[in-house]
Amino acid sequence: MAFRLVLILTSALLQMLALPPWRIVPLAAIALVPLLIALRGVCVRTGALLGVCWGTLAMWGLGYWVPIALARYYQQPAWFGVLFSLAASVVFAGAYAGGFAACVCALTRPREGVGRVIVVAALWVAWELARARLLTGDPWLLL
């Protein structure tokens, strides 16, 4: 499990570096590879948990400034900024990434090769679209 967590952290770091303010755009092409490797061979429940971890870490990497802004600009206690940001990261990114990961684990197990690639790509687009349009519609920092 520790190796899977290292893969999740690596994937979140690659996504963070691919998007602003770093904008190392070529990393976007490989950012999900460690996540997908971590999801190979795990049950749906574990996959969902790994996805929530990935989404939350990726959002924290990109939104590291939110707790600071809450504390300084809105004059809130630092603990409030951290807790609010953690909750928002789980809801607005972690939940969708967890859904994506659970679907990958459930729907790609019998598939290999091109079929698997097509299903994973379609799932990623569908979950990113859902994050952008459903509930609160948070299209911020989509890969």
Give pLDDT tens digits for 104-139.
Answer: 999 987 777 888 899 999 999 999 999 999 887 878
Residue 75: both structure tokens together: 């004059």
Burial class (CB in 10 A: 0-12, 13-18, 19+), 136: exposed
> Dihedral of CA 123/96/64/9: which sign?
negative
pLDDT value at position 138?
78
pLDDT value at position 102?
98
pLDDT value at position 92?
87
Residue 1: both structure tokens together: 């499990």
Q: What is the pTM of this model?
A: 0.92
| pLDDT tens sequence across 13-36 | 999 999 988 999 999 999 999 999
pLDDT value at position 1?
84
pLDDT value at position 111?
72
pLDDT value at position 9?
97
Mean pLDDT confidence for 44-53:
98
Helices 95-107 and 113-133: crossing angle in degrees, nearest 10, is 160
| pLDDT tens sequence across 79-106 | 999 999 999 999 989 999 999 999 999 9
Contact status, residue 53 vs residue 42, Cβ threshold 8 Å = no
pLDDT value at position 12?
97
Burial class (CB in 10 A: 0-12, 13-18, 19+), 86: middle
Reference 96, options 66, 61, 136; nearest CA is 136
Burial class (CB in 10 A: 0-12, 13-18, 19+), 110: exposed
